[in-house]
Chain A
Amino acid sequence: MENKTNQHTNPADFEVRSLDTMCVNESELKHPWYYNLKYSLVGVIFGIVFIKAEIISWFRIQEMFRLQSFHMYGVIGTAVVVGAISVFLIKKFKVKTIHGEEITFTDKKFNKGQIIGGLTFGLGWALTGACPGPLFAQVGSGAIVILVVILSATAGTWVYGKFRDQLPH
């Protein structure tokens, strides 16, 4: 990519920004790579919670979809409430990042993908008993075979990218 400052000239870059949930609010500051380790630390905490609260358990996910347990609903529900209060406070007090940068939010646009893709994702979720985050924690817990699932999920992502223009959105 020859353009370093004007990211919006690349349509894919723009779509990453506007349509996806991923973060592309890249910092204007240039930090050495090890600044990223702070995100690893957050990941470590996340991974520990995943295991300790059995969120990565295939059994817990099956119980959730069979309404046999409140556990996962409690986890997700509490997380959303805490997350929503946090986002509200960040917006209200215009909290800045630790590097003094502005925290930004992008509204998501509705498209058919959220329905079709959402249903597809749900079918897969109940099969593997794990969404993408827990897959990595499952590997960490010693289930090395789950690398195959991650590889297959990456293949699924690639196939989506390949046929994106032919799919209804």
Chain B
Amino acid sequence: MMETITQPWPWYTAGIIIGLIVPALLILGNKHFGISANLRHACAVCLPSNIPFFKYDWKKETWNFFFVGGILVGGIISTLYLGSGDAVIVHPDLAQELASYGITDFSGMVPSQLFSFESLFTVRGLVMMVGGGFLVGFGARYAGGCTSGHAIMGLSDLQWPSLVATICFMIGGFVMANFILPFILHL
């Protein structure tokens, strides 16, 4: 039993549980699954700067902070108590490609050679962490949601604008991963 838990979970287990988060939040309090909204709430709390987009009663949205707080705690629990300690198994083609950029450490969820405080002071690290983060935050709000809000909640509610957004997420990701990222990783 414990062995089943500590091994990486298959996609169908994960998919079913994530899918069930949609009705769980609805039934617990009519809340719609969405995460990037937290970033907007954070702006509304910390730096509204008289910008109309951030002038709303964020206190009504505090549930969302509790939700992401839980995600963080879940990450800690899972890493400390439920991990197998094994490195992530990476597709051989990807491993080979990454090795050509000097990325050989697959022990963590994120490659430590790219995401670390040291690499934050390299051009590559700066582009990937600060640049990537900025695009994620800007794009998610511009699109009106991220993977949770559009791809999962929106598609579950059969909203076609969410399908458009999801397809664009994927196109953007394909372009970056296959055509732009190789140049960035060479930096």
Binding site for B on A (CB under 8 A): 1, 7, 10-13, 15-16, 19-27, 33, 35-66, 68-87, 89-90, 95, 97-99, 101-105, 107-111, 113-133, 135-143, 145-146, 148-162, 164, 167
B66:A156 contact, CB within 8 angstroms: no
A82:B130 contact, CB within 8 angstroms: no
A133:B11 contact, CB within 8 angstroms: no
Interface size on B, residues (CB 8 A): 135
B137:A154 contact, CB within 8 angstroms: yes
A54:B88 contact, CB within 8 angstroms: yes
A-B contact pairs, 9 of them (CB 8 A): A12-B53, A20-B34, A52-B82, A63-B94, A65-B174, A119-B175, A128-B132, A141-B108, A157-B137
Give, as a whole number of angstroms, the nearest-CB distance from A15 to chain B.
8
- In the bound complex, residues from chain A placing their C-beta under 8 Å from that of B64 are 22-23, 39
A126:B177 contact, CB within 8 angstroms: yes
A140:B72 contact, CB within 8 angstroms: yes
Interface of B (DSSP majority class):
helix
Convert B11-30 into 0s and 1s, putting 1 for each residue whose CB lies closer than 8 angstroms to a CB of A.
Answer: 11111111111111111111
Q: Total A-B residue pairs with C-beta atoms closer than 8 Å?
A: 570
A23:B73 contact, CB within 8 angstroms: no
A121:B135 contact, CB within 8 angstroms: yes
Complex Cα–Cα for A74 and B14 (A):
9
A40:B70 contact, CB within 8 angstroms: yes
B176:A126 contact, CB within 8 angstroms: yes
A52:B78 contact, CB within 8 angstroms: yes
| A-B complex: 5 closest residue pairs judged by Cβ atoms | A122-B172, A47-B74, A43-B70, A140-B75, A78-B15
**Cβ-based interface call for B99 (8 A):** no
Return the chain B residue nearest A11 by Cβ: B52
State which residues 101-144 of B face A: CB under 8 Å. Answer: 106, 108-111, 114-117, 120, 127-144
B75:A24 contact, CB within 8 angstroms: no
Given A43-B66, A148-B130, A154-B43, verify A80-B37 contact (CB < 8 Å). no
- In the bound complex, residues from chain B placing their C-beta under 8 Å from that of A79 are 14-16, 18-19, 22, 152
Most buried by A among B9, B29, B33: B29
- In the bound complex, residues from chain B placing their C-beta under 8 Å from that of A153 are 36, 39, 133-134, 136-137, 140
A137:B74 contact, CB within 8 angstroms: yes
Q: Choose one: B20, B39, B75, B139; the contact of A118 (CB below 8 Å).
A: B139
Given A40-B73, A68-B93, A139-B72, verify A103-B154 contact (CB < 8 Å). no
Give, as a whole number of angstroms, the nearest-CB distance from A112 to chain B.
9
A114:B94 contact, CB within 8 angstroms: no
Give, as a whole number of angstroms, the nearest-CB distance from A165 to chain B.
8
- In the bound complex, residues from chain A placing their C-beta under 8 Å from that of B111 are 58-59
**Cβ-based interface call for B51 (8 A):** yes
Q: Choose one: B57, B135, B158, B170; the contact of A124 (CB below 8 Å).
A: B135
Given A48-B82, A146-B115, verify A80-B156 contact (CB < 8 Å). yes
- In the bound complex, residues from chain A placing their C-beta under 8 Å from that of B161 are 108-111, 114
B19:A81 contact, CB within 8 angstroms: yes
